[in-house]
Amino acid sequence: DAGITQSPRHKVTETGTPVTLRCHQTENHRYMYWYRQDPGHGLRLIHYSYGVKDTDKGEVSDGYSVSRSKTEDFLLTLESATSSQTSVYFCATGTSENTGELFFGEGSRLTVL
């Protein structure tokens, strides 16, 4: 598996507070993705990046922003967390060949009270 680490792995926060999740990869993969996993919805794409400083919206981007200032890090920020953002967040990476094959991190469980 690609070296993908997510931090924090678990976080409990209150409504209205900002939250940043970090994804760090050591594989020099060009593409990086943030998904959220919720029961009955599977994985839904939040944002993705196709290079440093190059990002685009996914299916459920409202309330989320991302930044990628260097190849290895992809940050997901909830500017003002809401209870509907309680979820498990997965980071994934893809190689420069852009075949669509993804390598996943271990996930970050976020609870917004």
Partner 1 sequence: AQSVSQHNHHVILSEAASLELGCNYSYGGTVNLFWYVQYPGQHLQLLLKYFSGDPLVKGIKGFEAEFIKSKFSFNLRKPSVQWSDTAEYFCAVMGSSASKIIFGSGTRLSIRP
Give me 73's structure tokens: 């890090």
Residues 6+ apart with CB under 8 A from 63: 78, 79, 80, 82, 85
43 binds partner 1 (CB under 8 A): yes
Q: Does 74 bind partner 1 (CB under 8 A)?
A: no
Question: Does residue 64 interact with partner 1 by CB under 8 A?
Answer: no
Centroid of chain to Cα 55: 12
Q: Which stretch binds partner 1 (CB under 8 A): 17-25, 66-74, 78-86, 88-96?
A: 88-96
Among the candidate windows 20-28, 48-56, 63-71, 74-82, which touches partner 1 by CB under 8 A? 48-56
Helix, strand, coil shares of the chain, percent, nearest 5, are 5, 60, 40
Length of the chain: 113
Question: Applying CB under 8 A, which part among 14-22, 44-52, 66-74, 79-87 lies near partner 1?
Answer: 44-52
The residue count for binding partner 1 (CB under 8 A) is: 27
**DSSP bridge pairs for 90:** 35
**If binding is defined by CB under 8 A, does position 34 make contact with partner 1?**
no
Distance CA 90, CA 35 (A): 5
Which residues contribute to the site for partner 1 (CB under 8 A)? Answer: 1, 31, 33, 35, 40-45, 48, 50, 56, 58-59, 90, 92, 94, 98-102, 104-107
